[in-house]
Chains A and B, each alone.
Chain A
C-alpha cells in the first residue's frame, strides 16, 4: 500500500519538467528562475520567512510553494529555520508595532549579503491596515526593501515570478552595504 502511494508520488510527478501546455507561463518562469539562481547563487538561495503582522493568507501561499505543483526546492531555493542561514528575508504583514523589535533583530541576525522581499499588499504600504495605531506603513518603513510582491495574497505563481525578479536585480547590483 505504501509502495503504491510512494510510487504515485515519485512516478507520476505533478511537477513536470515540461509543464502542461496550458501553463506555459509557469514553465517559462520555472526555467528562468533556475537559470538565474544558478548564475548568481550557485543553485542556492536560502529564505527566512518573517510574519510581521500578516493575516496568515500570505503564509498559506508561501507554504504552497513547497507543494508538489510548485516544488520550489528544485530551483535550489529553500526555506531555512534561522536568519543566520538566510540570504533573503521574506516579510509579510504591515509590520505591527508589537513585531518591530523582532523584525529588526531578525534582520540584524541575517548575514550580508542579504535581500528583503516584502510580500503582500499590506507589506507594501500597510494596505487595509494603514493608519492604525498598531501598525507601521509596510516593511519599507523599517527595513530597506529590495522587492515588493503585491497581491492579497499573491498566488504561488506570483511569488515565483517575484523571486525571479529578485534574482535578476541582485545579479546586477552588488551586495548591500551594512
Chain B
C-alpha cells in the first residue's frame, strides 16, 4: 500500500466524492504532505481554494487523492515553503479567496492586478482588491546587467503576458513572467451555473484545448453524479481528443521552426493542421470541436461518411508527414537552433510534475491517458514517447512521435467504434468529482462540487501550464534573448488556461 493510501485511510473519506477519495486532514498532516512533496515522494497535481477550505490534489505512483484543510481564521500553512511549485497557486488562492498561506515567501499578488476595484473575486469578504498596481520584479544585480520588458501586447498573434528579462549582453540572466492579463473570473462564473453553461465555460478556458477541458469537466461531472457515459461516447470523445492533439502538435512544430526562421516547415505543417481542422468540421461540425463533449456523452454522432473524412485525413498525414520529419532532421541550420537550446533538467520537470511534452522531453514518464487512465485508452495500443535531453529539439521530437501515435490511435478508434447511444441523461443529484485528462499540452485537472439541483456549486480547473510556466524561466537561463521565442514556443504554455 502506498504511503498516500495509508495516510488518507486514517481519515474519514468524504462521502459522494469520486472516483478518488477526498479526506479532510489536520494541520500536522497538511504539513507532512508538504514534506512528502518536497522530497519528491508525491507530486502536486493541484491546489485550490474553497469557502474557508483549501484542497490539494496529490499523486503517488498511480494513487491519487484530494487532501482538504479547514482554514482556521482564514489561514493555512503554506505548502510552497516546502514545495516551490505551489507558490503561484498559493498567491492565487490569496488573490481570489482571501485565504492567507502562512509562511508564504512571495507575497506579491499574482492574478490580481489591482483592477477589480468594485467587486469581490470569489469569496474574499468583499471590498477592494490590491491597490498597489506597481509590480516589483525580482531584482538581478550585477555589472552591466540590463532589463528588457516585453508585453503584455506581443509582436505576434499570441496571448498577452509580460516577460521581464535581465540580460548581460545577449545572455539571459533571469526571466520573470507576469501573468493574469486574461483573467476572466471563470471559476466564479461557474458557481451557480447549470451544467450546460458550465460546460461551455469549461470549453472556453483555453481554446486550443477546448476538447480536453470539456472532456475533463464532463468526466468530473459524471464522477460527481455517479454516472458512466455510454461506450460509444467515450470512443468519440477520444477521437476528438486525438484530433485536437494532432492539430496542435502540427501547428506547434511548424511554429517552432518558424521561430528559427525556417518558414518551409511552418507552411507545410500549417497545411496539415488546416486539413485536421477541416476533417474535424466534417466529422463534428466545428473546426475546434467546441461544445461537442458534454456531461453524459457527446452531442454529435458520426456516420460512415464522416468516418471516411477522418480516414482520408489519416492517409493524407501519413503520406506527407514523413518527408517533413526528414526535412526537420536533416536541416543543419535548423538543428543548430533547436539542439541544446532551452534545456530543462529532469529534476525540475519531476519536481514540478510537468505534464505533456515539457515533462516527457525531460524524462518524466507521465501521461494521464495511462495514469490514472480513462476509457477507452486501456483498450488501445499506443506508446508514450519519453526523451531525456530536455531541449527544444526534444520537445519537437516528442510532438513528432505523439503525432505518429495519435494517427495509430485514430485508426484503432475508427475500427473499434462500438455501436449504441452517445448520450445519457444525468441524474439530478449532488456530489463531488475529480478528473484528470491528457490534453495536447499536458494533464488538465477539473474538480467540482454539484449542488442537489445539479448546478455547479464550485468548480476548479487547473491548466497544465501552471507547472510549466515557471520551468520556462529556468530553461531560458543562460540562453540568448533571440532564442526566447523558440524556447517559449517549444513550451507553448497557455495564458488563458492559466489566468482563467
Contacts and interface: CB of A to CB of B under 8 A. Distances in A.
B120 A79 contact: no
Contacts of B183: 96, 98, 134
A21 interface: no
Contacts of B204: 55, 57, 122, 128-129, 152
Interface in A35-83: 49-64, 66-69, 79, 81-83
Given A54-B182, A93-B182, A129-B189, A2 B206 contact: no
A96 B327 contact: no
Interface stretch (A26-34, A99-107, A142-150, A170-178): A99-107
Contact of A59 (B200, B207, B274): B207
Contact of A60 (B180, B197, B200, B208): B208
B116 interface: yes
Nearest to B200: A128
A135 interface: yes
B351 interface: no
A50 B185 CA distance: 20
Interface residues of B, number: 55
B157 A62 contact: yes
Given A1-B326, A1-B330, A60-B208, A53 B158 contact: no
B408 to A, nearest CB: 24
- Majority secondary structure, B binding face: loop
Residue from A57, A98, A100 having most chain B Cβ neighbours under 10 A: A98
Contacts of B115: 97-98, 100
B160 A55 contact: no
Give the interface residue-count category, chain A: 35 or more
A23 B115 CA distance: 46
Contact of A56 (B121, B159, B290): B159
B455 interface: no
A5 B268 contact: yes
A162 to B, nearest CB: 16
A53 B182 CA distance: 4
A94 interface: yes
B435 to A, nearest CB: 19
Contacts of A69: 271, 274
Nearest to A130: B189
Nearest to A57: B207
B256 to A, nearest CB: 14
A102 B181 contact: yes
13 contacts: A1-B323, A9-B267, A57-B288, A64-B277, A68-B270, A96-B182, A96-B184, A97-B116, A99-B160, A129-B185, A129-B186, A133-B188, A134-B116
Given A1-B327, A57-B208, A66-B270, 14 more contacts: A5-B327, A49-B157, A52-B182, A57-B288, A57-B290, A60-B288, A61-B287, A67-B271, A98-B115, A99-B181, A129-B204, A135-B185, A152-B290, A153-B288
Interface of B: 111, 113, 115-116, 118-121, 152-153, 155-160, 180-186, 188-189, 197, 200-201, 204-208, 210, 251, 264, 267-268, 270-271, 273-274, 277, 287-288, 290, 323-324, 326-327, 330-331, 494-496
Which 5 residue pairs of A and B lie closest in terms of their CB atoms, listed nearest first? A57-B207, A133-B119, A132-B185, A134-B185, A81-B155
